[in-house]
Amino acid sequence: MSFEILSFSFMHRALISGVAIAILCSVIGLFLVLRRYSLFGDAIAHSSFGGIALGLLAGVYPLWTAYGVSLVSALIITRVKEKFNISGDASVAVLLSSGIAVGLVIIGISGGFTIDIFSFLFGSILLVSVNDTILILSLTGIILIVVLVLYRQLLYSTFNEEQAKVSGIPVEKINYLIVFMAGLTVVTSIQLVGVLLISALFVIPNVTAIMYGKGFKQTAILSISFSIFSVVTGILISYVFDITPAGTIVLLSIGLFAGTMGIKSMGLLSKN
Amino acid sequence: MNVVEIEHLTVKYPDVKALDDVSFTVKEGDFLGIIGPNGAGKSTLFATMLGLNNKYDGIIKFFGQDIRKSKDYLKEIGYVPQKPIFEKNFPATVNDIVRMSLRKESNEKKIDEILQQLWIHELSNRRIGELSGGQLQRVFIAKALVNNPKILILDEPVTGIDQQNIDLFFSILRELNSKQKITIIWSSHDLDAVNQLANHVACLNRTLFFHGESDDFFDNDELVKQYSEASMQEHMHHH
Protein backbone atom coordinates (compact mmCIF):
# COMPACT_ATOMS: atom_id res chain seq x y z
CA MET A 1 0.00 0.00 0.00
CA SER A 2 1.47 3.31 -1.04
CA PHE A 3 1.58 6.29 1.32
CA GLU A 4 0.67 8.47 -1.63
CA ILE A 5 -3.03 8.14 -0.79
CA LEU A 6 -2.42 10.02 2.45
CA SER A 7 -1.47 13.11 0.48
CA PHE A 8 -4.87 13.52 -1.17
CA SER A 9 -7.03 16.19 0.42
CA PHE A 10 -10.24 14.14 -0.07
CA MET A 11 -8.53 11.40 1.94
CA HIS A 12 -7.68 13.87 4.73
CA ARG A 13 -11.30 14.94 4.85
CA ALA A 14 -12.51 11.34 4.82
CA LEU A 15 -10.15 10.30 7.62
CA ILE A 16 -10.83 13.34 9.80
CA SER A 17 -14.61 13.02 9.39
CA GLY A 18 -14.40 9.25 9.83
CA VAL A 19 -12.50 9.51 13.12
CA ALA A 20 -14.93 12.14 14.45
CA ILE A 21 -17.92 9.97 13.53
CA ALA A 22 -16.24 6.89 15.03
CA ILE A 23 -15.83 8.68 18.38
CA LEU A 24 -19.35 10.09 18.32
CA CYS A 25 -21.07 6.81 17.44
CA SER A 26 -19.15 4.89 20.11
CA VAL A 27 -20.02 7.34 22.86
CA ILE A 28 -23.72 7.75 22.04
CA GLY A 29 -23.99 4.07 21.10
CA LEU A 30 -22.71 2.97 24.52
CA PHE A 31 -25.66 4.69 26.22
CA LEU A 32 -28.10 3.24 23.67
CA VAL A 33 -26.74 -0.32 23.98
CA LEU A 34 -26.87 -0.20 27.79
CA ARG A 35 -30.45 1.09 27.64
CA ARG A 36 -31.37 -1.90 25.44
CA TYR A 37 -31.95 0.53 22.65
CA SER A 38 -29.42 -0.98 20.25
CA LEU A 39 -31.64 -0.74 17.19
CA PHE A 40 -32.76 2.80 17.87
CA GLY A 41 -29.93 4.14 15.71
CA ASP A 42 -31.12 1.89 12.91
CA ALA A 43 -34.68 3.13 13.29
CA ILE A 44 -33.66 6.79 13.18
CA ALA A 45 -31.46 6.09 10.16
CA HIS A 46 -34.38 4.49 8.34
CA SER A 47 -36.65 7.39 9.19
CA SER A 48 -33.96 9.72 7.86
CA PHE A 49 -34.32 7.87 4.54
CA GLY A 50 -37.77 9.45 4.27
CA GLY A 51 -36.16 12.81 5.04
CA ILE A 52 -33.50 12.35 2.39
CA ALA A 53 -36.11 11.48 -0.25
CA LEU A 54 -38.08 14.54 0.80
CA GLY A 55 -35.02 16.77 0.40
CA LEU A 56 -34.20 15.34 -3.04
CA LEU A 57 -37.81 15.86 -4.13
CA ALA A 58 -37.94 19.43 -2.82
CA GLY A 59 -34.50 20.33 -4.15
CA VAL A 60 -33.15 21.01 -0.63
CA TYR A 61 -29.81 19.59 0.58
CA PRO A 62 -31.07 16.11 1.66
CA LEU A 63 -29.12 15.96 4.94
CA TRP A 64 -30.96 19.04 6.25
CA THR A 65 -34.36 17.45 5.69
CA ALA A 66 -32.95 14.20 7.09
CA TYR A 67 -31.96 16.03 10.31
CA GLY A 68 -35.45 17.49 10.60
CA VAL A 69 -37.36 14.28 9.92
CA SER A 70 -35.10 12.13 12.10
CA LEU A 71 -35.22 14.41 15.12
CA VAL A 72 -38.98 14.84 14.92
CA SER A 73 -39.60 11.11 14.54
CA ALA A 74 -37.13 10.23 17.33
CA LEU A 75 -38.90 12.59 19.73
CA ILE A 76 -42.37 11.44 18.66
CA ILE A 77 -41.52 7.79 19.10
CA THR A 78 -40.06 8.44 22.57
CA ARG A 79 -43.22 10.27 23.57
CA VAL A 80 -45.47 7.55 22.12
CA LYS A 81 -43.43 4.87 23.90
CA GLU A 82 -43.84 6.66 27.24
CA LYS A 83 -47.46 7.58 26.83
CA PHE A 84 -48.85 4.34 25.43
CA ASN A 85 -46.42 2.02 27.17
CA ILE A 86 -45.23 0.39 23.94
CA SER A 87 -42.05 -1.68 24.32
CA GLY A 88 -38.74 -0.35 23.00
CA ASP A 89 -38.34 -2.93 20.24
CA ALA A 90 -41.90 -2.49 18.95
CA SER A 91 -41.56 1.30 18.81
CA VAL A 92 -38.28 0.89 16.94
CA ALA A 93 -39.99 -1.42 14.43
CA VAL A 94 -42.75 1.13 13.81
CA LEU A 95 -40.29 3.97 13.27
CA LEU A 96 -38.04 1.87 11.05
CA SER A 97 -40.72 0.82 8.61
CA SER A 98 -42.46 4.21 8.54
CA GLY A 99 -39.28 5.95 7.37
CA ILE A 100 -38.63 3.51 4.56
CA ALA A 101 -42.31 3.56 3.53
CA VAL A 102 -42.37 7.37 3.34
CA GLY A 103 -39.11 7.36 1.39
CA LEU A 104 -40.36 4.80 -1.12
CA VAL A 105 -43.62 6.65 -1.72
CA ILE A 106 -41.78 9.93 -2.29
CA ILE A 107 -39.31 8.26 -4.67
CA GLY A 108 -42.29 6.76 -6.52
CA ILE A 109 -44.01 10.16 -6.79
CA SER A 110 -40.87 11.85 -8.10
CA GLY A 111 -40.22 9.15 -10.70
CA GLY A 112 -37.05 7.95 -8.97
CA PHE A 113 -33.60 9.43 -8.28
CA THR A 114 -31.70 6.27 -7.66
CA ILE A 115 -28.12 7.48 -7.91
CA ASP A 116 -28.33 10.04 -5.14
CA ILE A 117 -30.31 7.72 -2.93
CA PHE A 118 -27.65 5.03 -3.40
CA SER A 119 -24.92 7.19 -1.87
CA PHE A 120 -27.10 7.87 1.17
CA LEU A 121 -28.01 4.21 1.56
CA PHE A 122 -24.39 3.03 1.56
CA GLY A 123 -22.38 6.11 2.50
CA SER A 124 -19.87 8.11 0.50
CA ILE A 125 -17.13 9.09 2.91
CA LEU A 126 -14.59 9.73 0.15
CA LEU A 127 -16.89 12.42 -1.23
CA VAL A 128 -17.29 14.56 1.91
CA SER A 129 -16.76 18.24 1.24
CA VAL A 130 -14.92 20.78 3.38
CA ASN A 131 -18.28 22.07 4.61
CA ASP A 132 -19.41 18.56 5.52
CA THR A 133 -16.19 18.03 7.44
CA ILE A 134 -16.67 21.27 9.36
CA LEU A 135 -20.26 20.32 10.17
CA ILE A 136 -19.22 16.84 11.34
CA LEU A 137 -16.42 18.22 13.52
CA SER A 138 -18.64 20.91 15.05
CA LEU A 139 -21.46 18.52 15.89
CA THR A 140 -19.00 16.01 17.31
CA GLY A 141 -17.47 18.72 19.49
CA ILE A 142 -20.83 19.98 20.75
CA ILE A 143 -22.22 16.53 21.52
CA LEU A 144 -19.04 15.41 23.28
CA ILE A 145 -19.07 18.54 25.45
CA VAL A 146 -22.71 17.88 26.42
CA VAL A 147 -21.85 14.26 27.28
CA LEU A 148 -18.86 15.31 29.40
CA VAL A 149 -20.81 17.98 31.26
CA LEU A 150 -23.80 15.70 31.94
CA TYR A 151 -21.75 12.51 32.31
CA ARG A 152 -23.00 11.66 35.80
CA GLN A 153 -26.67 12.23 34.94
CA LEU A 154 -26.40 10.27 31.68
CA LEU A 155 -24.66 7.32 33.33
CA TYR A 156 -26.93 7.27 36.38
CA SER A 157 -30.19 7.37 34.42
CA THR A 158 -28.83 4.67 32.09
CA PHE A 159 -27.88 2.48 35.06
CA ASN A 160 -31.20 2.69 36.88
CA GLU A 161 -33.93 5.23 36.13
CA GLU A 162 -35.76 4.86 39.42
CA GLN A 163 -32.70 5.41 41.57
CA ALA A 164 -31.61 8.30 39.40
CA LYS A 165 -35.01 9.92 39.99
CA VAL A 166 -34.67 9.46 43.73
CA SER A 167 -31.28 11.18 43.49
CA GLY A 168 -33.05 14.16 41.95
CA ILE A 169 -31.89 13.61 38.35
CA PRO A 170 -34.45 14.81 35.74
CA VAL A 171 -34.61 11.39 34.07
CA GLU A 172 -37.28 12.23 31.46
CA LYS A 173 -35.30 15.22 30.21
CA ILE A 174 -32.12 13.14 30.07
CA ASN A 175 -33.96 10.47 28.05
CA TYR A 176 -35.07 13.05 25.50
CA LEU A 177 -31.57 14.49 25.38
CA ILE A 178 -30.07 11.08 24.58
CA VAL A 179 -32.62 10.47 21.83
CA PHE A 180 -31.99 13.94 20.42
CA MET A 181 -28.21 13.44 20.41
CA ALA A 182 -28.67 9.99 18.85
CA GLY A 183 -30.77 11.57 16.06
CA LEU A 184 -28.08 14.16 15.31
CA THR A 185 -25.35 11.52 15.43
CA VAL A 186 -27.13 9.16 13.05
CA VAL A 187 -27.74 11.72 10.34
CA THR A 188 -24.21 13.07 10.72
CA SER A 189 -22.85 9.55 10.29
CA ILE A 190 -24.90 8.70 7.20
CA GLN A 191 -22.09 10.00 5.01
CA LEU A 192 -19.68 7.46 6.47
CA VAL A 193 -21.55 4.17 6.32
CA GLY A 194 -25.00 5.05 4.97
CA VAL A 195 -28.48 4.46 6.29
CA LEU A 196 -28.29 0.68 6.18
CA LEU A 197 -25.16 0.06 8.23
CA ILE A 198 -25.34 2.85 10.78
CA SER A 199 -26.34 0.73 13.74
CA ALA A 200 -23.15 -1.30 13.27
CA LEU A 201 -21.13 1.74 14.37
CA PHE A 202 -23.41 2.27 17.37
CA VAL A 203 -23.48 -1.30 18.54
CA ILE A 204 -20.53 -3.48 17.48
CA PRO A 205 -17.58 -1.54 19.00
CA ASN A 206 -19.54 -1.20 22.24
CA VAL A 207 -20.55 -4.83 22.65
CA THR A 208 -16.93 -5.72 21.87
CA ALA A 209 -15.59 -3.29 24.49
CA ILE A 210 -18.09 -4.42 27.15
CA MET A 211 -16.66 -7.96 26.94
CA TYR A 212 -13.31 -6.74 28.35
CA GLY A 213 -14.87 -6.41 31.82
CA LYS A 214 -13.66 -2.90 32.55
CA GLY A 215 -15.30 0.13 34.15
CA PHE A 216 -17.42 2.66 32.30
CA LYS A 217 -14.74 5.09 31.14
CA GLN A 218 -12.29 2.36 30.11
CA THR A 219 -15.08 0.61 28.21
CA ALA A 220 -15.86 3.85 26.37
CA ILE A 221 -12.17 4.36 25.55
CA LEU A 222 -11.83 0.77 24.27
CA SER A 223 -14.95 1.16 22.16
CA ILE A 224 -13.68 4.44 20.66
CA SER A 225 -10.33 2.80 19.89
CA PHE A 226 -11.94 -0.19 18.14
CA SER A 227 -14.17 2.13 16.20
CA ILE A 228 -11.35 4.44 15.07
CA PHE A 229 -9.26 1.43 14.07
CA SER A 230 -12.08 -0.02 11.94
CA VAL A 231 -12.92 3.30 10.31
CA VAL A 232 -9.36 4.37 9.46
CA THR A 233 -8.24 0.91 8.32
CA GLY A 234 -11.51 0.41 6.47
CA ILE A 235 -11.22 3.68 4.54
CA LEU A 236 -7.60 2.97 3.53
CA ILE A 237 -8.18 -0.67 2.56
CA SER A 238 -11.31 0.15 0.61
CA TYR A 239 -9.47 2.83 -1.37
CA VAL A 240 -6.50 0.64 -2.15
CA PHE A 241 -8.61 -2.34 -3.22
CA ASP A 242 -11.41 -0.25 -4.68
CA ILE A 243 -14.18 -1.75 -2.56
CA THR A 244 -16.97 -0.12 -0.59
CA PRO A 245 -15.72 1.70 2.55
CA ALA A 246 -18.96 1.19 4.49
CA GLY A 247 -18.92 -2.59 4.13
CA THR A 248 -15.18 -2.80 4.84
CA ILE A 249 -15.48 -0.69 8.02
CA VAL A 250 -18.34 -2.79 9.35
CA LEU A 251 -16.60 -6.08 8.50
CA LEU A 252 -13.48 -4.92 10.35
CA SER A 253 -15.55 -4.12 13.42
CA ILE A 254 -17.18 -7.52 13.20
CA GLY A 255 -13.67 -9.00 12.96
CA LEU A 256 -12.68 -7.28 16.24
CA PHE A 257 -15.91 -8.51 17.82
CA ALA A 258 -15.27 -12.11 16.70
CA GLY A 259 -11.63 -11.89 17.81
CA THR A 260 -12.69 -10.67 21.26
CA MET A 261 -15.21 -13.51 21.54
CA GLY A 262 -12.40 -15.90 20.64
CA ILE A 263 -10.09 -14.48 23.33
CA LYS A 264 -12.91 -14.57 25.83
CA SER A 265 -13.90 -18.15 25.09
CA MET A 266 -10.26 -19.16 25.70
CA GLY A 267 -10.69 -17.71 29.19
CA LEU A 268 -8.21 -14.89 28.63
CA LEU A 269 -10.63 -12.18 29.73
CA SER A 270 -12.19 -11.68 33.17
CA LYS A 271 -15.52 -13.33 33.98
CA ASN A 272 -17.70 -10.59 32.60
CA MET B 1 -37.79 17.42 65.74
CA ASN B 2 -39.93 15.54 63.23
CA VAL B 3 -38.00 14.83 60.05
CA VAL B 4 -40.87 12.94 58.43
CA GLU B 5 -44.60 13.55 58.88
CA ILE B 6 -47.13 11.44 57.04
CA GLU B 7 -50.77 12.42 57.38
CA HIS B 8 -53.70 10.33 56.12
CA LEU B 9 -51.74 8.84 53.23
CA THR B 10 -53.93 6.80 50.89
CA VAL B 11 -52.74 5.22 47.65
CA LYS B 12 -55.36 3.59 45.43
CA TYR B 13 -54.63 1.13 42.66
CA PRO B 14 -57.45 0.28 40.23
CA ASP B 15 -58.57 -2.80 42.20
CA VAL B 16 -57.32 -2.18 45.68
CA LYS B 17 -56.17 0.39 48.23
CA ALA B 18 -52.42 -0.21 48.56
CA LEU B 19 -52.28 2.18 51.52
CA ASP B 20 -55.29 3.25 53.52
CA ASP B 21 -55.17 6.35 55.73
CA VAL B 22 -51.63 5.85 57.01
CA SER B 23 -50.27 8.46 59.43
CA PHE B 24 -47.01 8.47 61.37
CA THR B 25 -44.02 10.62 62.19
CA VAL B 26 -40.31 9.98 62.40
CA LYS B 27 -38.09 12.00 64.72
CA GLU B 28 -34.51 12.97 64.03
CA GLY B 29 -32.18 10.13 65.06
CA ASP B 30 -34.94 7.48 65.12
CA PHE B 31 -34.33 3.99 63.85
CA LEU B 32 -37.76 3.01 62.56
CA GLY B 33 -38.46 -0.55 61.48
CA ILE B 34 -41.50 -0.84 59.22
CA ILE B 35 -42.75 -4.39 59.37
CA GLY B 36 -45.47 -6.12 57.41
CA PRO B 37 -45.94 -9.17 55.21
CA ASN B 38 -45.27 -9.11 51.46
CA GLY B 39 -47.89 -7.01 49.73
CA ALA B 40 -48.50 -4.93 52.85
CA GLY B 41 -47.69 -1.73 50.96
CA LYS B 42 -44.14 -1.16 52.23
CA SER B 43 -42.67 -0.62 48.78
CA THR B 44 -45.63 1.58 47.77
CA LEU B 45 -45.07 3.64 50.92
CA PHE B 46 -41.39 4.13 50.08
CA ALA B 47 -42.02 4.88 46.40
CA THR B 48 -44.53 7.54 47.43
CA MET B 49 -42.23 9.01 50.07
CA LEU B 50 -39.41 9.16 47.52
CA GLY B 51 -41.50 11.08 45.00
CA LEU B 52 -41.80 8.18 42.51
CA ASN B 53 -45.58 8.03 42.83
CA ASN B 54 -47.51 11.30 42.67
CA LYS B 55 -50.97 9.76 42.73
CA TYR B 56 -51.81 9.80 46.42
CA ASP B 57 -54.15 11.48 48.86
CA GLY B 58 -52.88 12.94 52.10
CA ILE B 59 -49.76 14.85 53.01
CA ILE B 60 -46.12 13.81 53.17
CA LYS B 61 -43.67 16.23 54.73
CA PHE B 62 -39.90 15.95 55.00
CA PHE B 63 -38.19 18.49 57.29
CA GLY B 64 -41.53 20.31 57.57
CA GLN B 65 -41.89 20.79 53.78
CA ASP B 66 -44.67 19.24 51.69
CA ILE B 67 -42.97 17.03 49.08
CA ARG B 68 -45.50 18.12 46.47
CA LYS B 69 -44.02 21.61 46.67
CA SER B 70 -40.32 20.86 46.47
CA LYS B 71 -38.06 17.92 45.67
CA ASP B 72 -35.14 19.45 47.57
CA TYR B 73 -35.59 16.96 50.41
CA LEU B 74 -34.26 14.21 48.13
CA LYS B 75 -30.77 15.70 48.58
CA GLU B 76 -30.90 14.73 52.24
CA ILE B 77 -31.98 11.15 51.62
CA GLY B 78 -29.96 8.03 50.89
CA TYR B 79 -32.04 5.21 49.47
CA VAL B 80 -31.10 1.54 49.28
CA PRO B 81 -33.50 -0.38 47.01
CA GLN B 82 -34.76 -3.86 47.77
CA LYS B 83 -32.91 -5.62 45.01
CA PRO B 84 -30.81 -3.38 42.83
CA ILE B 85 -31.76 -4.22 39.26
CA PHE B 86 -29.13 -3.81 36.59
CA GLU B 87 -27.70 -5.59 33.56
CA LYS B 88 -25.29 -8.33 34.65
CA ASN B 89 -22.59 -7.11 32.29
CA PHE B 90 -23.14 -3.39 32.89
CA PRO B 91 -19.66 -1.91 32.45
CA ALA B 92 -19.40 -0.16 35.79
CA THR B 93 -17.01 -0.76 38.68
CA VAL B 94 -17.86 -0.31 42.35
CA ASN B 95 -16.09 3.02 42.14
CA ASP B 96 -18.22 4.10 39.13
CA ILE B 97 -21.44 3.22 40.95
CA VAL B 98 -20.59 5.03 44.16
CA ARG B 99 -19.18 8.05 42.31
CA MET B 100 -22.33 8.27 40.15
CA SER B 101 -24.33 9.48 43.15
CA LEU B 102 -21.79 12.07 44.19
CA ARG B 103 -23.34 15.53 43.95
CA LYS B 104 -20.22 17.58 44.51
CA GLU B 105 -16.87 16.55 43.10
CA SER B 106 -15.35 18.16 46.20
CA ASN B 107 -16.62 15.23 48.24
CA GLU B 108 -14.16 12.96 46.44
CA LYS B 109 -12.32 12.02 49.66
CA LYS B 110 -15.60 10.86 51.10
CA ILE B 111 -15.72 7.95 48.64
CA ASP B 112 -12.53 6.33 49.97
CA GLU B 113 -13.67 6.86 53.51
CA ILE B 114 -17.04 5.21 52.93
CA LEU B 115 -15.65 2.30 50.93
CA GLN B 116 -13.32 1.61 53.84
CA GLN B 117 -16.05 1.96 56.41
CA LEU B 118 -18.17 -0.60 54.55
CA TRP B 119 -15.32 -3.07 53.93
CA ILE B 120 -15.50 -2.81 50.16
CA HIS B 121 -12.37 -0.76 49.59
CA GLU B 122 -10.48 -3.61 47.96
CA LEU B 123 -13.36 -4.15 45.52
CA SER B 124 -13.37 -0.63 44.13
CA ASN B 125 -12.13 -1.64 40.67
CA ARG B 126 -14.26 -4.75 40.34
CA ARG B 127 -17.27 -4.77 38.06
CA ILE B 128 -20.52 -4.82 39.99
CA GLY B 129 -21.74 -7.91 38.10
CA GLU B 130 -18.94 -9.92 39.76
CA LEU B 131 -19.98 -9.19 43.35
CA SER B 132 -21.87 -11.37 45.82
CA GLY B 133 -25.24 -10.28 47.19
CA GLY B 134 -23.73 -9.06 50.47
CA GLN B 135 -20.97 -7.08 48.75
CA LEU B 136 -23.44 -5.56 46.34
CA GLN B 137 -25.67 -4.47 49.16
CA ARG B 138 -22.79 -2.66 50.85
CA VAL B 139 -21.96 -0.97 47.54
CA PHE B 140 -25.52 0.36 47.40
CA ILE B 141 -25.30 1.56 50.99
CA ALA B 142 -22.03 3.31 50.14
CA LYS B 143 -23.78 4.91 47.18
CA ALA B 144 -26.61 6.05 49.45
CA LEU B 145 -24.19 7.52 52.02
CA VAL B 146 -21.87 9.40 49.74
CA ASN B 147 -23.73 12.72 49.95
CA ASN B 148 -23.93 12.70 53.78
CA PRO B 149 -27.69 12.07 53.95
CA LYS B 150 -29.69 12.95 57.05
CA ILE B 151 -32.08 10.05 56.44
CA LEU B 152 -31.32 6.58 55.16
CA ILE B 153 -34.24 4.60 53.68
CA LEU B 154 -33.73 0.87 53.16
CA ASP B 155 -36.24 -1.44 51.50
CA GLU B 156 -36.02 -5.07 52.77
CA PRO B 157 -32.25 -4.96 52.56
CA VAL B 158 -31.36 -8.47 53.75
CA THR B 159 -33.26 -10.56 51.20
CA GLY B 160 -31.00 -13.32 49.87
CA ILE B 161 -27.88 -12.47 51.88
CA ASP B 162 -25.90 -14.89 54.08
CA GLN B 163 -25.76 -14.59 57.88
CA GLN B 164 -22.17 -13.33 58.09
CA ASN B 165 -22.96 -10.46 55.75
CA ILE B 166 -26.22 -9.74 57.57
CA ASP B 167 -24.31 -9.40 60.88
CA LEU B 168 -21.78 -7.06 59.30
CA PHE B 169 -24.60 -5.06 57.76
CA PHE B 170 -26.43 -4.72 61.09
CA SER B 171 -23.31 -3.48 62.86
CA ILE B 172 -22.82 -0.90 60.10
CA LEU B 173 -26.43 0.30 60.45
CA ARG B 174 -26.09 0.55 64.24
CA GLU B 175 -22.96 2.64 63.89
CA LEU B 176 -24.54 4.96 61.30
CA ASN B 177 -27.51 5.54 63.57
CA SER B 178 -25.73 5.88 66.92
CA LYS B 179 -22.45 7.56 65.95
CA GLN B 180 -23.31 9.50 62.82
CA LYS B 181 -26.87 10.27 64.00
CA ILE B 182 -28.41 9.30 60.68
CA THR B 183 -32.16 8.70 60.91
CA ILE B 184 -32.94 5.25 59.53
CA ILE B 185 -36.21 4.04 58.05
CA TRP B 186 -36.02 0.39 57.29
CA SER B 187 -38.65 -2.01 56.00
CA SER B 188 -38.38 -5.67 56.83
CA HIS B 189 -40.44 -8.76 57.40
CA ASP B 190 -37.87 -10.12 59.85
CA LEU B 191 -39.20 -9.47 63.37
CA ASP B 192 -36.00 -10.59 65.13
CA ALA B 193 -33.88 -8.20 63.15
CA VAL B 194 -36.23 -5.32 63.87
CA ASN B 195 -36.19 -6.26 67.55
CA GLN B 196 -32.38 -6.13 67.56
CA LEU B 197 -31.98 -2.83 65.79
CA ALA B 198 -34.96 -0.50 65.70
CA ASN B 199 -36.08 1.77 68.50
CA HIS B 200 -39.41 2.43 66.83
CA VAL B 201 -41.73 0.09 65.02
CA ALA B 202 -44.52 0.65 62.52
CA CYS B 203 -46.69 -2.33 61.57
CA LEU B 204 -48.17 -1.97 58.14
CA ASN B 205 -50.69 -4.08 56.35
CA ARG B 206 -52.25 -1.57 53.94
CA THR B 207 -53.30 0.33 57.06
CA LEU B 208 -51.05 1.08 60.01
CA PHE B 209 -52.05 -1.10 62.94
CA PHE B 210 -49.27 -0.11 65.31
CA HIS B 211 -46.76 2.69 65.57
CA GLY B 212 -44.63 3.35 68.62
CA GLU B 213 -41.58 2.39 70.66
CA SER B 214 -40.22 -0.98 69.71
CA ASP B 215 -40.34 -2.21 73.35
CA ASP B 216 -44.07 -1.48 73.46
CA PHE B 217 -44.54 -3.61 70.39
CA PHE B 218 -42.39 -6.55 71.44
CA ASP B 219 -43.85 -6.54 75.00
CA ASN B 220 -47.34 -6.86 73.53
CA ASP B 221 -47.73 -10.59 72.88
CA GLU B 222 -51.05 -10.14 71.14
CA LEU B 223 -49.55 -7.78 68.53
CA VAL B 224 -46.48 -9.93 67.94
CA LYS B 225 -48.70 -13.00 67.54
CA GLN B 226 -51.00 -11.17 65.16
CA TYR B 227 -48.05 -10.03 63.08
CA SER B 228 -46.41 -13.47 63.08
CA GLU B 229 -49.62 -15.12 61.94
CA ALA B 230 -50.10 -12.65 59.12
CA SER B 231 -46.50 -13.14 58.13
CA MET B 232 -46.73 -16.93 58.38
CA GLN B 233 -49.84 -17.05 56.20
CA GLU B 234 -48.04 -14.97 53.66
CA HIS B 235 -45.07 -17.30 53.87
CA MET B 236 -47.25 -20.39 53.33
CA HIS B 237 -48.99 -18.66 50.50
CA HIS B 238 -45.68 -18.10 48.74
CA HIS B 239 -44.48 -21.68 49.05
* pLDDT tens sequence across B33-48: 998 888 888 889 999 9
Cβ contact, residue pair A168, B89, below 8 Å: no
Cβ of B39: how many Cβ atoms within 10 Å?
15
Nearest alpha-carbon partner for A163 in B123, B92, B194, B173: B92
Give the DSSP letter of residue B85.
-
Give the residue ranges of chain A where pLDDT is below 70: 1-2, 112-115, 270-272
pLDDT digit string, tens, across residues B89-114: 899 999 999 988 887 766 677 888 88
pLDDT digit string, tens, across residues B165-204: 788 888 888 988 998 899 999 998 778 888 888 999 998 8
Closest CA–CA distance from residue A258 to any residue of chain B (Å) = 18
- Angle A75-A81-A83 from CA coordinates, rounded to 5°: 100
Q: Is the pLDDT of residue B150 over 80?
A: yes
Torsion from C-alpha of A55, A59, A61, A63, nearest 10 degrees: 10
Q: Are B42 and B48 in contact (CB under 8 A)?
A: no
Please name the residues between 156 and 195 in chain A that touch chain B, using a CB distance below 8 Å.
156, 159-160, 162-163, 165-168
**Superfamily holding A3-265:** ABC transporter involved in vitamin B12 uptake, BtuC (1.10.3470.10)
User: Which of B83, B87, B95, B100 to mutate to probe the A interface, most A CBs <10 Å?
Assistant: B100
Q: Is the pLDDT of residue B234 over 60?
A: no
Q: Which among A166, A215, A272 has the least Cβ separation from residue B89?
A: A272
pLDDT at site B33: 93
Q: For residue A211, list chain B residues with Cβ-Cβ distance below 8 A.
A: 89
Can you tell me the distance from the alpha carbon of A162 to that of B84, in angstroms, rounded to the nearest whole number? 10
Domains and CATH numbers, chain B: 2-78+150-238 (3.40.50.300)
Q: Which among A152, A209, A216 has the least Cβ separation from residue B92?
A: A216
The residue extents of the domains of chain A are: 3-265
> Which residues, 6 or more positions from B76, have their beta carbon under 8 angstroms from its beta carbon?
B62, B63, B149, B150, B151
Cβ contact, residue pair B84, A271, below 8 Å: no
| Section B67-77 average pLDDT | 91
pLDDT at site A4: 79
Cβ contact, residue pair A166, B79, below 8 Å: yes
Q: Is the pLDDT of residue B159 over 70?
A: no
Can you tell me the distance from the alpha carbon of A213 to that of B126, in angstroms, rounded to the nearest whole number? 9
Please name the residues between 194 and 213 in chain A that touch chain B, using a CB distance below 8 Å.
209-211, 213
Cβ contact, residue pair A160, B88, below 8 Å: no
For B209, list phi and psi in degrees, rounded to 5. -105, -5
Burial class (CB in 10 A: 0-12, 13-18, 19+), B91: buried
Q: Which among A34, A215, A270 has the least Cβ separation from residue B96?
A: A215
Exposure of B68 in the CB half-sphere (CA atoms within 13 A): 8
- Residue B239 binned pLDDT confidence (cut-offs 50, 70, 90): very low
Give the DSSP letter of residue B131.
S
Exposure of B77 in the CB half-sphere (CA atoms within 13 A): 27
Q: In angstroms, how far is CA B173 from the centroid of its own chain?
A: 11
Interface predicted TM-score of the whole assembly (ipTM), two decimals:
0.84
pLDDT at site A114: 62
pLDDT at site A272: 44
Cβ contact, residue pair A160, B125, below 8 Å: no
pLDDT at site A98: 86
For B101, list phi and psi in degrees, rounded to 5. -85, -15
| Rg of chain B on CA atoms, in Å | 18
Cβ contact, residue pair B51, A210, below 8 Å: no
| Section B196-214 average pLDDT | 88
| Rg of chain A on CA atoms, in Å | 19
